[in-house]
Structure 1
C-alpha cells in the first residue's frame, strides 16, 4: 500500500511540475505560496477551513512578494 501511494505521489509531482514550466514568476510564486500556506494551515490548525485560509493567505503573499 505504501509503495502504491509513493508511486502515485511521485507521478503527481512530475505531472504538476511539467504544468508549471511556462508560468511567469508571479504565477509560480503565487502557486508555491498557496501550496505552502495550505500545508501550514492544515498542519497547524487542521480542518478544511484552515487549509483554505492558509492557501489563500499564502497565495496572496506569494503574489505580492514578486517584484
Structure 2
C-alpha cells in the first residue's frame, strides 16, 4: 500500500497535459521530497522545496515546449507561432 501511495503523485505528474505542466508537477514533487528530507522542519521544508521545484520545473518544461517553433507577425501586426522553415 505504501508503494501505491508513493506512486500516485508521479502518475498524476506524468498525466499532465503540456511539458510545462509536467515539469511543474515533477519539479514540485521532487522539491517537496528533497525539502522534507533536508530541512529541520519537514513541513516547512516540503512547502519551500515544493514551491521552488515547481517553479524550476515549469521553466524547464516551458523551454522544451517551443522547439522548432518560430514566432511570426502578419501584415496586421498579429503574432502567431508556426513551424520554423526547414534548416532554420
Quick check: TM above 0.5? Answer: yes
Change (3 A) 1:50 1:18: closer
Range with bigger deviation, 36-45 or 8-17: 8-17
User: Per-residue displacement from partner, 1:31-62 (whole Å, max 9, x unpaired)?
Assistant: 00000000000111142111100000000000
Could you say which residue in structure 1 is the equivalent of 2:28? Answer: 34
Q: Distance in 2 between matches of 1:19 and 1:29?
A: 8
- Could you tell me which residue of structure 2 aligns to residue 63 of structure 1? 58
Q: Does 1:9 align with 2:3?
A: yes
Q: Which runs of 4+ in 1 moved over 6 A?
A: none
Q: Normalising to structure 1: TM-score of the pair?
A: 0.71
Which is higher, the Rg of structure 1 or of structure 2?
A: 2
> Higher helix proportion, which one?
1
Higher strand share: 2
Structure 2 CA distance for partners of 1:16 and 1:44, relative to 1, 3 Å: closer
Q: Normalising by the residue count of structure 2, what TM-score does the alignment of the two structures yield?
A: 0.56
